[in-house]
A and B are shown apart, each in its own frame.
Chain A
Amino acid sequence: MNFDLNVILSKQDELLYGIAVTIFVWVVGTLASAALGFVIATARRYGGVLVDRALAVPVEVIRGTPFLVQLFLLYFGGPYIGLSLDALPAGLLALSIYGSAYFSEIFRAGYQSVPPGHVEAAETLGFTRGQVIRVILLPEMALLVLPPSVNMAIILLKETALLSLITVPEMTMTASAIGSQEYAFVEAMLLLALTYWILVELAGLLGRLAEKKLSRYRLAKA
């Protein structure tokens, strides 16, 4: 058996489709995770003690169980409670819920990082709560929540590989199938690893660019 990447590369259309699905699930899932996580963190901050405690439970459960188990429970268990989803929406939903638990903690830390006095200054000027969040809290926490958010996006990218187990046609599933059919499994996995790594580096690069832009005010010279 020879090591031959050409066998794999000849299937580039299928591969590109798989990569596209992965990127789609990753980007949409990460954005949905972040949005949902932000809503959870905001509800916990402003919703009173009961809401805070009530939301702490699902966050702990999701952080305390493996993503694969959650995915299987949603996809195979969902129909028992009338939630029959196709593979792709099920995968997206599972990924979003999983990521939101972590993102909610990132934003919770972000909220806590802003000195209360900065909020008080806005309140005495008559800012509404929405304005305080949008104009003061989010921009002030941005620099702090960015690195863990990039980290989380990277983790979510790699978790998308598990969606192949519920038949989402993303790139791990595509590469495994091609590798088996063509008797070039190692080549397929190698190429797959390289692709994940490139996407991760891309995410890191975007994160560093954003960080640079956001930290401009801190680096301003006197």
Chain B
Amino acid sequence: MSDTAISVQHLVKRFGTTTVLDDITLQIPRGQVSCLIGPSGSGKSTLLRCMAFLEEATEGSIFIEGDPLGFVYDGTGKRQRQAASELRRVRSRIGMVFQQFNLWPHMTALGNVAAALRRVRGLSRSEAEAKALAQLTKVGLENRAGHYPSQLSGGQQQRVAIARALALEPKIMLFDEATSALDPELTGEVLNVMRGLAEEGMTMVVVTHEIGFAATVGSQLSFLDQGRLLFTGPPAEVFAKPRHPRLEQFLDTYLDRGASTLV
């Protein structure tokens, strides 16, 4: 098995005439936390969404554990859509956590986590709920199993969403600004769950504005600006001596707010 969980190759994404991602090539190492940082509109969320095939790249390819995601190239180099069943198979190795949680409001916390176990894995209701309860316990919410999303705080909702994404035992977890909709106190509880996952050796790709998290938990940090990948490397290197003027400028805004104490 190779050490690369996700391989992004020459990825280009355009919306009309706007180029959102400009020739991105990036390797996500297995068992580590890779963070994508950058200003708003830099394309980091779009890149992450491409890794879940929620956005279709205009050019280039993405491989999940060596298997193509979304598109396959035939002998003549022409791109074709992957069969729906194959896409589901490759996607099933990925768990996605969204900024807006995206819990299903008509299901309880337990129902949200159990849904995929029943519908996708085909488990019986009792089996699915037993497994779902174990995931809720992992994020510390076993006593909220019967609550609807509307009865939970933002932080609790996001932890349920993490449990839901973990239910199918994915190999890779993608976090799209998972704490951006939360106040600092609730952010902490979600980051703790994410830290726990990282310690277990989960492969994680994290789009975040939490520079402190990126610096302390991340083992690879990528900086995007205006659709270009300007830097990829270990956090220490980034924070110690920013090489790119745009990255330096970006980090200054954080250092101004006292983030230097974190690194």
A→B interface (CB under 8 Å): 115, 117-118, 120-129, 131, 135-136, 139-140, 217-218, 220-222
**Taking beta carbons and an 8 Å cutoff, which residues of B are in contact with A?**
52, 54, 84, 88-89, 91-92, 94-96, 98, 100, 102-107, 115-116, 119-120, 147-148, 150-151, 161, 164-165, 167-168
Q: Report chain A residues within 8 Å CB of B92.
A: 125-126
With A135-B119, A217-B148, A220-B151: A140-B105 Cβ-Cβ less than 8 Å: yes
Nearest 10 CB-CB pairings of A with B:
A117-B102, A125-B116, A121-B102, A124-B96, A126-B88, A126-B120, A222-B151, A126-B92, A139-B106, A217-B148
Partner of B52, one of A122, A124, A127, A131: A124
Which single member of A126, A131, A136 contacts B168 (CB below 8 Å)?
Answer: A126
Q: Which residue of A lies closest to B174 (CB)?
A: A124
Q: Are A121 and B105 touching (Cβ within 8 A)?
A: no
Nearest Cβ on chain A to B160's Cβ, whole angstroms: 11
Q: Is the CB of B120 within 8 A of A125?
A: yes
Q: For A117, what are the chain B residues with a Cβ–Cβ distance below 8 Å?
A: 98, 100, 102
For residue A222, give the distance in angstroms from its CB to the closest CB of chain B: 5
User: For the complex, what is the distance from the CA of A129 to the CA of B52, rounded to whole Å?
Assistant: 16
Q: Give complex CA distance A129, B85 in Å.
A: 11
Known: A117-B100, A220-B151. A124 touches B54 (CB 8 A): yes
Give A180 to B50 CA distance when docked, in angstroms: 72
Q: Is the CB of B168 within 8 A of A220?
A: no
Nearest B residue to A117, CB-CB: B102
* Nearest CB of chain A from residue B2's CB, rounded to whole Å: 23
Nearest-Cβ distance from residue A75 to partner chain B, whole angstroms: 43
Asked whether B102 lies within 8 Å of A127 as measured between CB atoms, the reply is no
Alpha-carbon distance A5/B4, docked complex (angstroms): 86
Contact A121 to B104, CB < 8 A, known contacts A126-B91, A126-B168, A135-B119: yes
Please state if A121 and B151 are interface contacts (CB–CB under 8 Å): no
Once the chains bind, are A121 and B168 in contact (CB under 8 Å)?
no
- Contact partner, B164, options A121, A123, A222, Cβ 8 Å: A121
List, in ascending order, chain B residues with CB within 8 A of A135's CB. Answer: 115, 119
Contact of B148 among A125, A129, A220 (CB under 8 A): A220
Q: Would A131 and B119 be within 8 Å (CB), given that A115-B100, A126-B88, A218-B105 are in contact? A: yes
Q: How far is the CB of A1 from chain B (nearest CB, A)?
A: 59
Contacts of B164 in A (CB 8 A): 121, 125
Contact partner, B150, options A131, A136, A217, Cβ 8 Å: A217
Shortest distance in angstroms between A138's beta carbon and chain B's nearest beta carbon?
10
CA distance A122 to B165 in the complex (A): 10
- The answer to whether A123 and B120 have CB atoms under 8 Å apart is no
Tell which of A118, A120, A121, A139 has the most Cβ of chain B within 10 Å.
A121
A31 → B minimal CB distance (Å): 23
| In contact, B150 and A218 (Cβ under 8 angstroms) | yes
Do residues A127 and B98 form an inter-chain contact, with CB atoms below 8 A? no
- The residue that B104 contacts in the complex, of A131, A136, A222, with Cβ under 8 A, is A136
Complex-state Cα separation, A122 to B112, whole angstroms: 10
The chain B residue with its CB closest to the CB of A125 is B116
Whether B94 and A124, one on each chain, are in contact in the complex, defined by CB atoms closer than 8 angstroms, is yes
> Given the complex of chains A and B, what is the CA–CA distance between A123 and B103 in angstroms?
13
Residue of A nearest to B116 (CB): A125
Least Cβ–Cβ distance between B198 and chain A, in angstroms: 20
A127–B116 touching, CB < 8 Å:
yes
Which chain B residue shows the least CB distance to A131? Answer: B119
Q: Are A221 and B151 in contact (CB under 8 A)?
A: yes
Q: How far is the CA of A138 from the CA of B254 in the complex (A)?
A: 44
For B117, the closest partner residue in chain A by CB is A125
Chain B nearest Cβ from A74, distance in angstroms: 39
**Contact residues in B for A217 (Cβ distance below 8 Å):** 105-107, 148, 150
